[in-house]
Structure 1
C-alpha cells in the first residue's frame, strides 16, 4: 500500500473516531501584547470545566513555526505564548488571522480556532530617500501637477498613510489622493509662475501622516530646481568688445 493511500485511510479513520464540530471559535488580540495575555476562556467556549481540559489532554496546535498560543490548565484560558508581530506574520495585508486547532482526547474532539491580530500603529511612515529633487521649468503653467515620492508604512488599514502636508510656500500647493484602505498619494501643483532669475532652487518639506491616534509622521526634503528658459533679451549693445562685455556674452551663451 502506497504512502498516499495510507495517509488517506489514517485521516478517514481519525475523522470517524472524532467528534468533529464545524463551528469555529473566534478571538481577537492586539499585536505586541505581553506574553501571558489572555485571549479568551477556551474551557468555557468548549463547554468544559477546568478539570476536564487537563484530564482530556487539551492541545493547541497549528502549522506555524512558533507556538503563539497555549492553554492554561488551571484557569482554562487561551493565552499568548510568543511575541506577535502583525507585519511579520501578515505583510501588506488588511486582514491578519492565525488559524489554530484545539484537540481533546477521550473522546477525541477537534475545534477550529481563528485569532484575528489587531494592528497597532507601531510604525512610522518613511521615505526611501531623505531628499528628493524635482526639475520644473519656469515656463510651467499654473495648475500643472508633478508626482511626489510615496511614503512607506508597514502598518495597514486605518494606520496606513492617510494624508500628506506641504511646508508653507508661495509657489506650490498639494493635491492629495485618498487611498481608502490603502495609502494615500500626493502631487505637487504649480500655484504661481516660477522665475529662475529670482529663485533657482525652492526648498520644501513634505510630511506623510498616518491614521493612527496619535498619528505618526515621516518627512522628506523636496528640492525643486527651476529650469531656465530663454525669456530675457540682451538689454544693451556692446559697442566695443570690452572684457566685461565678453564675460557677459559668454555667461549668457549669446
Structure 2
C-alpha cells in the first residue's frame, strides 16, 4: 500500500509542553513512552516498590508491561493490582521543566495475541526473552491521571482523556499488523516531516483509530489523526 502525501499543513499541531491541550499532551506522553517508573505495593508491609520497566500501549492506549513472574514487581501485581506509572518526555536542561504524567490504575495479566507484536515493534530486543515461559503481559487500565504540563498547569485527567475509543474500528485493528509492514516507509517519513516531526529515520510501529506511532532508534513519536479512523480505507485521506 503506497500513500501519496501532498504538502499540506496539519490540522492539529503536535502537542508541546507549552500547549493548551492537556488531553492531547497526556496522550502523547503515554503513547511515546518507552520506559516508565512503575510503583507496586509490597504485600508484606504495604510499602510502595518502584521499578524501571519498558512500556508499550494497547490499541486504546492502555499501558502494556512485560514482566517475569520472578520479578518482585510482578509478584506484587499478582497480589495487588493497584499500580502507578510515571511517564516523562526527556529533554535537555532541568528535568522538572519537561512534561510528565503520573497514571494510576489496575494491572491485570493479559494473554491477548496482538500484544506480542505491538510490544516487539517498540522493543525489538525483547525478542530475546519474550517467549520465555515465566514472562507474561500486564495491561494497566487507567483510573486517574495527573499531568504536569508546565508551571501552574497540573490538571487531573479522567481515563477518557487518555484512552482511544475503539468502537467500530474492528477492520482497522484486524489490519494493523499488515498495515505496519506494508505502508510505504518513504511516505511515512515524508508525512512525519510535514507534520512537524524532527528529522530522522522514522518508521511505523503501530496505528489505531487515534493516530500512528513512530520510532527512530530510541526516539518515539505520536502523530494523532485529524479525525477518528475506523477503516483502513480512510488512511489515504487522513494522512494527506
TM-score by length of 1: 0.22
Q: Which has the larger radius of gyration?
A: 1
Greater RCO, CA 8 A, separation 6+: 2
Q: Which has the higher helix share?
A: 2
TM-score by length of 2: 0.23
